[in-house]
Structure 1
Amino acid sequence: MTETSSTGTAVVDGTAGPMVRVTGLHRSYGTGAAAVHALRGVSFTVPRGELIALKGRSGSGKTTLLNLVGGLDTPDDGQITVDGTDLATLGESGLLEMRRDRIGFIFQSFGLIPILTAAENVGVPLRLRRADPREREERVALLLALVGLGDHAAQRPGELSGGQQQRVAIARALANRPALLIADEPTGQLDAETGLAVMELLRAVVRSEGVTALVATHDAQLLGLADRVLELADGHLVEHGPTPGP
């Protein structure tokens, strides 16, 4: 159930404390008459362990919101709390640590390193964290099996289909056991059938890994797989509620 508090904040109920709390978020680009108001007072709260879909037309503010929640950008006004931490209290090193250890990112363009194998790509975050080699190998093998690519560990991105590359990207995003997954149009470069399979995988990953996912998508079929849907229009949150039935 979704409710609205006395302050106008959309609250998506959960039994645990919220994974993400956004209050009064504003972000503009440019100044004066030419300024673009990407977000205008957006507020919402989501619980842990759910897949939240973010929908809206191009230019509605979806990517801006994801970048702010992920600590890749700073709001002009408002507060963002992720996994109990107010992002405004973190310096650049603290934000870097947050992005490295507690947030996993999945992008439309996959972002894999062409010269590395699937296993090596998945292992990159663990190398950056200087994880024990044996721990790294075990985690990489587990994640590739989780996304159905256990037999493709030695293949490079160019030898994989688009759907397989996105599966590798999902495995890589999970490498450091993040609390939050942020995905910006993760199926945008895939055909409808492959995109649906990837979205179903994301939902399964949320369940099996116990993470929260915030996923931007414009595909109505994919929205049906989410636990909740948030809709942005011209920088405003215009809809926040349970996923519509079929």
Structure 2
Amino acid sequence: MTDQHGGAGMTGQSGTAVATSPKTGEMVVVEDLRRTYGSGETAVHALRGVSFAVPRGELVALKGRSGSGKTTVLNLVGGLDTPDGGRISLDGTDLAGLGDDDLLALRRDRIGFVFQSFGLIPILTAAENVGVPMRLRKTPPREREERVELLLALVGLADHAAQRPGELSGGQQQRVAIARALANRPDLIIADEPTGQLDADTGLAVMELLRAVVRSEGVTALVATHDNQLLALADRVLELRDGRIVADS
């Protein structure tokens, strides 16, 4: 995948240069990641030394029971939470070297998030929901409208642009959410149980769409799911148990 952001570094809204690591073939590198919630006897050790790398342009799935650490990994890689130990780099940028403004810019410009609950704004149309990230980035209106039209066509919803979330099925809402995640041409898509609220057939269709998007848009995807049928569509599967990776296949 061509690096559309220039060199190995990153400059956020603050204009401050941040620490970077040498470029490799991996989009995501996680080393000895640890995260504990609480303290003392009630402490929950969510991650206990997790390490893995995700090459550019691959869809990697995280599997494991509830509480295994999947969501914690996604939140840390996505810059939504901070680890207690270990290291995370995204396209050569060490997240530990980013300030708040730089992390905000990273999440806005380089990561697309897809959640189980869809997360669409009820009063906005499908097209308006897809356009929200570009409005935040102050993308010119004409460019924004063209990108929205392209993305809705990509996810098969060109004829539903004017409909609001309440007028769409669950599968259609998740397709809008995927289009929104792609709005700012991210390097990485993070999806946490994206088919959790969908029936089996619709969930499979959404996962196939995610895989197709990874190929067509040249992005990398990290997806948490417990559905074995969906895991078969991933390039690679990491299994977590009690905060550790126990299988990599």
Answer whether TM exceeds 0.5 for this pair: yes
Letter in 1 for 2:57: G
Corresponding residue of 2:5 = none
Between the aligned partners of 1:217 and 1:45, the Cα distance in structure 2 is 18
Q: Deviations over 1:94-129 (max 9, x none)?
A: 100000000000000000000000000000000000
Q: 2:204 aligned with 1:224, yes or no?
A: no
Tell me which of 133, 136, 139 is aligned to 2:147.
139
Q: Find out whether 1:34 has 2:49 as its counterpart.
A: no
Partner of 1:82: 90
Shift of 1:46: 1.2
TM-score, normalised on structure 2? 0.90
Question: CA separation in 2, counterparts of 1:200 and 1:42?
Answer: 28
1:152 aligns with: 160
User: Is 1:168–2:173 an aligned residue pair?
Assistant: no
Report the aligned-residue RMSD. Answer: 0.6
Secondary structure class of the residue paired with 1:230? strand
% identical equivalent positions: 82
How far does residue 154 in structure 1 lie from its aligned partner after superposition? 0.2
1:50 to 11, 36, 58: 58
Matched residue of 1:140: which SS?
helix
| Superimposed CA distance per residue, residues 164-198 of structure 1 (whole angstroms, 9 cap, x where no aligned partner) | 00000000000000000000000000000000000
The within-5 A match list for 1:1-246 is 17-241=25-249
- Equivalence for 1:13: none
Aligned match of 1:10: none
Give the count of matched residue pairs. Answer: 226
Q: For 2:171 and 2:25, how far apart are their aligned partners in 1?
A: 34
Displacement after TM superposition at 1:17 (Å): 1.3
Residue type matched to 2:137 in 1? R
SS of alignment partner, residue 213 of structure 2: helix
SS in 2 for 1:96: helix
Structure 2's unaligned 5+ residue stretches are 1-23
Q: Which runs of 4+ in 1 moved over 3 A?
A: none
Q: Give secondary structure in 1 for the equivalent of 2:148.
A: helix
What's the CA shift for 1:84? 1.3
SS in 2 for 1:20: strand
Q: TM-score, normalised by structure 1?
A: 0.91
What SS class does the counterpart of residue 189 from structure 2 fall into?
A: strand
